[in-house]
Amino acid sequence: MGFSELYLAYYAKLVRFATVFVILEEDAENIIQDVFTELWMKSDCLDQIENINAYLYRLVRNRCLDHLKHKVFEQKYAKNMQTSFETELNLKLQSLDSFDTCLVSEEKEITKKIHAAINSLPDRCREIFMLSRFDGLKYKEISECLGISINTVECQMSIALKKLRVKLQVCRAA
């Protein structure tokens, strides 16, 4: 069986199979595309595979499990960054509250720096950050509202938190 016939025969079945693991069809399609890209690169070895059906399903299953492991890692990283950012921000705001009125201008300056840091984010990244932090939307709600994948929302939030942390770290050192 040639590569084209293999692709036509298995693509839809493998997408359905992958969707059982990763839930989102978009992620499943990406995984299947990666699998077929790998097969294309090894197309000269396809004849050596005894049971192509078992081989493909095993390959897809392993890729799905890798994808899920990576998702867990990303979520933990994003959560740690978010917690760190929020803790740092809360500590700064709490310490400002304990000072007398002559330090109100410093609080305003920090607020300006926070807003400047937020405004320095790329447009889509800033929009997602503000929907999450200021409007209180969940990642799924943001993805539906903007017509993007939850993956993109998570990735953009991770980028936003990392950039804000770096910017606010620079502000703190100054």
Average pLDDT of the chain to the nearest whole number: 86
pLDDT at 92: 73
- On the question of pLDDT at 51 being above 90, the answer is yes
- On the question of pLDDT at 74 being above 70, the answer is yes
Residue in 86, 76, 158 with CA at minimum distance from that of residue 150: 158
> Amino acid letter at 41?
M
pLDDT at 151: 93
pLDDT at 24: 92
Q: Once rounded to an integer, what is the mean pLDDT over residues 114-135? A: 88
The larger pLDDT score, comparing residue 107 to residue 114, is at 114
How long a stretch of residues is the chain?
174
CB atoms within 10 A of CB 74: 14
The larger pLDDT score, comparing residue 35 to residue 110, is at 35
Q: Once rounded to an integer, what is the mean pLDDT over residues 73-94? A: 82
CA–CA distances in Å: residue 37 to residues 31, 50, 62: 10, 20, 15
pLDDT at 170: 65
Q: Is 60 within 8 Å of 14 (Cβ atoms)?
A: yes
pLDDT band per the 50, 70, 90 thresholds, residue 95: low
- On the question of pLDDT at 16 being above 80, the answer is yes
Maximum pairwise Cα distance, the chain: 79
- On the question of pLDDT at 45 being above 70, the answer is yes
